């Protein structure tokens, strides 16, 4: 992951980018067109025939991996290792679904040291802590900073580094190297967080002390928890943007934003003024890439704001819940379409486009499932899932049809061939199924851990304490059973959509997704860290931070 990209050492070979199959570029600063590799070019030229059956790539067709340590294989696997992972369904399910969920479960299960908010004694008995329900327990700040937030920030930086790896660009200074730069960035974020906390730069602790009431007089609307979490989330996102800023400064210092080729005396006489105003396309691509990162990070902040509005306006009727869910769907689709346009037409990176499609599906599903913990009745579960299942079964078969393809050509001037259009829609359905499985399994895991585990007081959202007399008040059993039923319905609707696509269009959705993962070996690990980052973000938003 932290190995440097050197000019001339890539597997990418320069080709003519005029043909549709060579439209995408590798994405690094000195980008090249994608090669007609034996692993993917044949499936691109004959997609219709290949997708009629499951793809099987012979081991001898896969480039040999270098002898590396298990850590390097795990962070940046080679083509042969990725082929072994993807060759069996249970291996790829374990890597793409189970591994990110295990990381999240271990992270959120680490017990927080907490104290009595009305005194100085440690809270050792969970029942005693539940009796003191007027104020949330005080969380040990240094545990939060070094362990909880530290691990969250470490995973976020690994995810950003994997994105730059797909772009084929080093974000760290060459003199420092990747490992030292990564450690410096991580420790700097923790140092800034420590400084802001002790200096109380935004007055959060002062307002908390002023508003700390006597027992029995707690007003939830005056809780400074929202401002504190906003501070830490903003610090995390600022740290994640530092690699892009470091690259920007480095490229500016190297004058990559201007024409740098040496000119003859004759060229300098007539062309120097015109060429000095020219901005290389590679530099413009990098700026578009940075913009896509900003939009992706902003989408998580919007999701947190959306969840706050949803939770502050409880309870909701069935139609209200459906309206909230579909509003969130539309919001995510708009952001995903904007980033997709940037990556497809400006950055022209097929691997990054694949990752960010998955990212926005995760953002949608992780908030979608978390809000299910506050739906008021089984009717809401049934209505929302019915609409979602109908959408999946009808939309993708229609979108793969030639009339839909011709409509896109007529309405927006769609420039892709019909085979490439099928591949785009196939990737979308494959990633949607993957996001459904990851978020469903992850949610069920942390729902159980945080409800029964030692951190239930730090995550009151999952305690399901309710004082009203509603027959469908929030309970663990209702949420878990409903989530299992929804997951089963999603699996059934996805299977039906895949079979319809196979029967009508002879398109194998699974094969399309796996071909892209085989083409870019780093893509598999990047998807894992994408899942980890998005799921950890919602848990950071839901933790109850109350520092003494």
pLDDT band at 143 (very low <50, low <70, confident <90, very high): very high
Return the half-sphere exposure (C-beta side, CA atoms, 13 A cut-off) of residue 192.
Answer: 15
Cβ atoms of 485 and 381 within 8 Å: the answer is yes
Q: What is the pLDDT of residue 12?
A: 39
pLDDT band at 373 (very low <50, low <70, confident <90, very high): low
Instruction: Output b/e per residue, 14-28; b: 16+ Cβ within 10 A.
Output: eeebeeebbbbbbbb
Query: 29 versus 536: which is more confidently predicted?
Result: 536
| Cα–Cα distance for residue pair 40/61, rounded to 1 Å | 11
Q: Is the pLDDT of residue 275 over 70?
A: no
pLDDT band at 544 (very low <50, low <70, confident <90, very high): confident
| Cα–Cα distance for residue pair 72/3, rounded to 1 Å | 10
Q: What is the pLDDT of residue 230?
A: 77
Spatial neighbors of 433 by CB under 8 A, at least 6 apart, are 490, 494, 509
Q: What is the pLDDT of residue 170?
A: 84
pLDDT band at 465 (very low <50, low <70, confident <90, very high): low
Q: Is the pLDDT of residue 476 over 50?
A: yes
pLDDT band at 545 (very low <50, low <70, confident <90, very high): confident
Q: Is the pLDDT of residue 413 over 50?
A: yes
Q: What is the pLDDT of residue 256?
A: 59
Closest-CA residue to 358 (of 442, 431, 437, 433): 431
Q: Is the pLDDT of residue 52 over 50?
A: no
Q: Is the pLDDT of residue 281 over 60?
A: yes
Which residue do the tokens 């005396």 mark? 265
Query: 530 versus 80: which is more confidently predicted?
Result: 530
What percent of the chain lies above the pLDDT cut of 70?
Answer: 68
Integer-rounded Cα Rg, in Å, for the chain is 25
Q: What is the pLDDT of residue 57?
A: 44
| Cα–Cα distance for residue pair 351/344, rounded to 1 Å | 10
Cα angle 413, 397, 484 (rounded to 5 degrees) comes to 125
Cβ atoms of 544 and 463 within 8 Å: the answer is no
DSSP letters of 379-409?
A: HHHHHHHHHHHHHHHHHHHHHTSHHHHHHHH
Cβ atoms of 339 and 276 within 8 Å: the answer is no
What percent of the chain lies above the pLDDT cut of 90?
Answer: 39
pLDDT band at 174 (very low <50, low <70, confident <90, very high): confident
Backbone angles phi, psi at 169, to 5 degrees: -140, 130
- Tens of pLDDT, residues 3-12: 555 444 444 3
Query: Hey, what are 474's tokens?
Result: 């929030």
| Cα–Cα distance for residue pair 289/171, rounded to 1 Å | 13
Give this prediction's pTM. 0.82
Q: How far is CA 220 from CA 227, 370, 392, 408, 473, in A?
A: 13, 21, 40, 50, 20
Q: What is the pLDDT of residue 446?
A: 95
Q: How far is CA 230 from CA 89, 205, 309, 416, in A?
A: 40, 14, 15, 42
| Cα–Cα distance for residue pair 489/498, rounded to 1 Å | 14
Q: What is the pLDDT of residue 393?
A: 94
- Tens of pLDDT, residues 55-71: 444 444 444 544 555 55
Cβ atoms of 425 and 400 within 8 Å: the answer is yes
Q: Is the pLDDT of residue 311 over 80?
A: no
| Cα–Cα distance for residue pair 147/225, rounded to 1 Å | 19
């Amino acid at each position: 992951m932290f190995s440097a990209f050197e000019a001339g050492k890539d597997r990418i070979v320069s080709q003519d980018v005029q043909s549709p199959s060579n439209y995408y570029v590798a994405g690094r600063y000195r980008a090249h067109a994608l090669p007609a590799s034996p692993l993917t070019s044949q499936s691109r030229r004959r997609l219709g025939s290949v997708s009629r059956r499951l793809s099987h790539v012979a081991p001898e067709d896969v480039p040999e991996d270098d002898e590396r340590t298990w850590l390097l294989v795990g962070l940046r696997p080679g083509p042969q290792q990725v082929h072994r992972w993807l060759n069996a369904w249970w291996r790829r399910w374990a890597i793409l679904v189970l591994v990110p969920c295990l990381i999240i479960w271990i992270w959120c299960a680490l017990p927080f040291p907490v104290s009595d908010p009305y005194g100085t004694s440690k809270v050792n008995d969970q029942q005693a802590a539940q009796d003191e329900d007027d104020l949330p327990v005080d969380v040990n700040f240094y545990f939060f900073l070094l362990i909880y937030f530290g691990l969250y920030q470490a995973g976020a930086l690994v995810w950003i580094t994997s994105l730059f790896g797909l772009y084929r660009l080093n974000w760290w200074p060459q003199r420092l190297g990747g490992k030292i730069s990564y450690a410096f960035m991580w420790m700097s974020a923790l140092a800034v967080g420590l400084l802001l906390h002790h200096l109380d730069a935004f007055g959060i602790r002062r307002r908390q002390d002023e508003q700390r009431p006597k027992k029995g007089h707690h007003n939830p609307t005056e809780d400074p928890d929202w401002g504190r979490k906003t501070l830490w989330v903003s610090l995390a996102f600022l740290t994640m943007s530092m690699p892009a800023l470091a690259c920007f400064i480095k490229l500016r210092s190297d004058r990559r934003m201007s024409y740098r080729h040496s000119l003859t005396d004759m060229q300098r006489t007539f062309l120097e003024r015109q060429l000095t105003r020219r901005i290389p396309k590679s530099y413009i691509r990098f700026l578009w890439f940075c913009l896509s990162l900003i939009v992706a990070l902003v989408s998580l902040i919007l999701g947190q704001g959306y969840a706050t509005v949803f939770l502050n306006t409880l309870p909701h009727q069935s139609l209200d819940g459906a309206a909230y869910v579909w509003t969130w769907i539309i919001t995510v689709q708009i952001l995903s379409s904007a980033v997709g346009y940037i990556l497809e037409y400006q950055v022209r990176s097929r691997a990054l486009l694949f990752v960010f499609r998955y990212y926005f599906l995760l953002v949608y599903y992780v908030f979608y499932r978390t809000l299910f913990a506050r739906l008021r009745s089984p009717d809401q579960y049934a209505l929302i899932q019915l609409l979602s299942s109908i959408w999946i079964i009808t939309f993708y078969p229609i979108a793969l049809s030639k009339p839909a393809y011709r409509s896109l050509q007529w309405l927006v001037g769609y420039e892709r061939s019909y085979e490439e259009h099928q591949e785009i829609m196939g990737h979308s359905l494959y990633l949607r199924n993957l996001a459904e499985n990851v978020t469903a399994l992850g949610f069920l895991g942390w729902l159980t851990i945080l409800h029964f585990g030692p951190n239930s007081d730090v995550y009151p959202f999952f305690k399901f304490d309710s004082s009203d007399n509603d027959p469908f008040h929030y309970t663990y059993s209702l949420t878990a059973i409903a989530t299992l039923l929804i997951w089963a319905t999603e699996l059934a609707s996805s299977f039906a959509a895949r079979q319809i696509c196979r029967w009508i269009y002879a398109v194998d959705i699974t094969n399309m997704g796996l071909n892209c993962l085989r083409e870019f070996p780093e893509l598999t690990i990047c998807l894992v860290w994408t899942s980890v980052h998005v799921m950890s973000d919602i848990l950071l938003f839901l933790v109850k931070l109350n520092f003494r």
